[in-house]
Amino acid sequence: MQIYIDGEYYSKEDAKLSVFDHGLLYGDGVFEGIRTYNGRVFECDGHIDRLYASAQVIALDIPLSRQEMIDVMMETIRRNEAYDGYIRLVVTRGVGDLGLNPSKCPKATVFCIASGITLYPAEVYQNGFKVATLSTRRNDPQAINPAVKSLNYLNNVMGALELRDRGVNEGLFLTTAGYVCECTADNFFMVKGHKLLTPHPATGALKGITRGVAMRLAGLMGLDVEEGFYTLYDVYTADEAFLTGTAAEVGPIVEVDKRPIGAGVPGPVTKEIISRFHEYAQNSGTPVGA
């Protein structure tokens, strides 16, 4: 494995960052998780745009242009032959002192990893995901803007810790006001009649790239797509539910808090979205090139 760090490539064993890097010390930085299918980068422009938008919001100056960042990613993919894989692009605030002042970090650090990722076994997609509501609440979007995909994932980690020994695959965050938000690593959707419902970003839900693709595909299927504010009542009484994420792709949800969703099996609308997603993923994207 070869990993890009600030203009050079290193083996996995030699790829190192300073302990004074503020990405490590304070979670000060941004990232993107990106998939490749058949030698093509899935939704490349969307991921790169979100990376730079996140950096803009936290006043992080990325030392590479968008095209240079894409070139780095493509070269890292080629060097690792990750043509059906998972890419992690990371920009940290860079090396500074032990204070948290960002102005003490003269240059951002950029690194890129091209490898693979498997979150759930195949049978979970066949039989459906079981989900439990979390007692940990989603960060208030007035404190941390959910549109910024930052390195600080402690809220998500605390939620994931609750899943230990619970016999479920994912956890569902609520807001402090009790509205449904998102899962620990995935966006959340419900099907009700001819409507596809997903929490509004104002709840603290990330505007996921795969989320956006699922919404477009649902629109092409003739579904009314709605972003809104929903409670657990809406979840428990939904006809179907599913989750989306770059690594997870599209996963059917058959149970929430030990309550069956719909018939308690992956539903027909969810199956159709999954089928269309796989076809789209395999036949779209930006070619990695030779």
Tokens matching residue 113: 């990893």
Residue ranges in the chain assigned as alpha helix (H): 22-26, 44-57, 66-80, 122-127, 154-161, 209-220, 232-236, 268-283
End-to-end, the C-alpha distance of the chain in Å comes to: 18
Computed from CA positions of residues 52, 218, 234, 126, in that sequence, does the dihedral angle turn out positive or negative?
negative
Q: 182 with 201: CB under 8 angstroms?
A: no
Q: Which residues pair with 192 in a beta bridge?
A: 195
Say which residue the tokens 């083996």 belong to: 11
Local structure of residue 102 (DSSP, 8 states): G
Distance CA 45, CA 287 (A): 12
Strand partners, 109: 92
Residue 237 tokens read as 């009484």
Catalytic residue, chosen from 12, 149, 192, 258, is 149
Q: Which of 103, 89, 80, 76 is closest to 30 using CA atoms?
A: 89
Is 195 a catalytic site residue?
no
Which residues neighbour 76 within 8 Å (Cβ) at sequence distance 6 or greater? 2, 3, 4, 9, 82, 87, 112, 113, 114
Distances in Å between the Cα of 181 and the Cα atoms of 9, 173, 227, 228, 274 are 39, 5, 11, 10, 21
Q: Which residues are identified as catalytic? A: 149
